[in-house]
Chains A and B, each alone.
Chain A
Amino acid sequence: AQSVSQHNHHVILSEAASLELGCNYSYGGTVNLFWYVQYPGQHLQLLLKYFSGDPLVKGIKGFEAEFIKSKFSFNLRKPSVQWSDTAEYFCAVNPRGSQGNLIFGKGTKLSVKP
């Protein structure tokens, strides 16, 4: 069955530290890839997405992600986190031809200490 793995359940960083959250998926075909963020008390919102083209994707608030097809990975990065980045981050995959249904990882909770 198709699945998405997020390696870290809870990450705690100090402000200005660099961030990398891992995401791997199991699907051999073409995929669309997403990172969603959920700030405390708010709805899930799109951070960035990859459909095709340049595998290095830039999103909002200084986040970026790199699609490495050979590793089935789509890791999220940010060079310097802020306290306001405290949130839960979800990686999601939409296998092409699956009618747009998203498969989510379990999420990574990021806590940034001021």
Chain B
Amino acid sequence: EADIYQTPRYLVIGTGKKITLECSQTMGHDKMYWYQQDPGMELHLIHYSYGVNSTEKGDLSSESTVSRIRTEHFPLTLESARPSHTSQYLCASKHRNLGATEAFFGQGTRLTVV
């Protein structure tokens, strides 16, 4: 069982609100990721981090921002939520590529902006 947690699981929020999606892992993984997933579509990488104080933008442009102050914590923030941000957000983590390893995923946050 993977030890990676996302909160909240579901969030309905009004336009213009600031929100933070939490992601924490207890596996000591260096690498962490945020993916965005719409129904029937592939997961798109929006942010990733190689370790503390490292953040990079992914393949899909996103208005969200991330921070990595602690190894185990990789929160995603939307300063002003819009209906176009409605989606499912998945957090993942993995060890460094000392030999190939797989990513472990959280249960996701389903965000609805009304």
Contact = CB atoms under 8 A, between A and B. Distances in A.
B37 to A, nearest CB: 8
B45 A101 contact: yes
B107 A100 contact: no
Contact of B97 (A34, A100, A103): A100
Given A105-B42, A106-B40, A106-B41, A43 B100 contact: no
Interface in A23-58: 32, 34, 36, 42-46, 49, 51
Interface in B56-93: 58-59, 90, 92
A42 B6 CA distance: 12
Interface of A: 4, 9, 32, 34, 36, 42-46, 49, 51, 90, 94, 99-107
Contacts, number: 59
A102 B58 CA distance: 11
Interface residues of B, number: 29
B6 to A, nearest CB: 9
Nearest to A94: B100
A42 B107 contact: yes
